[in-house]
Amino acid sequence: MPNTEIKYEILKTIGVISETAKGWKKELNLVKWNDRDPKYDLRDWSPDRSKMGKGVTLTAEEMKKLAALIQNI
C-alpha cells in the first residue's frame, strides 16, 4: 500500500482571514507540499496546525490573477 502521508512546510504566513470559536483559522500561507515548489494556499488550520481542512492552492501567476479580480469587486 502506498504511503499516503502528506508532507508540508508552511514557509510564510501571509494572513488570517477568519477564526472559529474552537480556534481553527482560515489562513493564506505560502506552503511547500510534498517537497514540490511552494504555492499560495488558502485553508482552515487547527490551532496547532496538526490538522487542516480542504483548501485551494495557487501558483504565483494564479495568485496575481486572483488579486486583480478581487480589486475589481
Beta carbons of 17 and 29 less than 8 angstroms apart: no
- List of domains in the chain: 8-71 (2.30.31.70)
Q: In the block, which residue shows the cell 493564506? A: 28
Instruction: For residues 7-30, give the mean pLDDT.
Output: 97
Rg over alpha carbons for the chain, rounded to the nearest Å, is 13
Sorting pLDDT into bands at 50, 70 and 90, what band is 1? low
Sorting pLDDT into bands at 50, 70 and 90, what band is 41? very high
Sorting pLDDT into bands at 50, 70 and 90, what band is 6? confident
Q: Provide the pLDDT for residue 3.
A: 67
Secondary structure letter of residue 5 according to DSSP? P
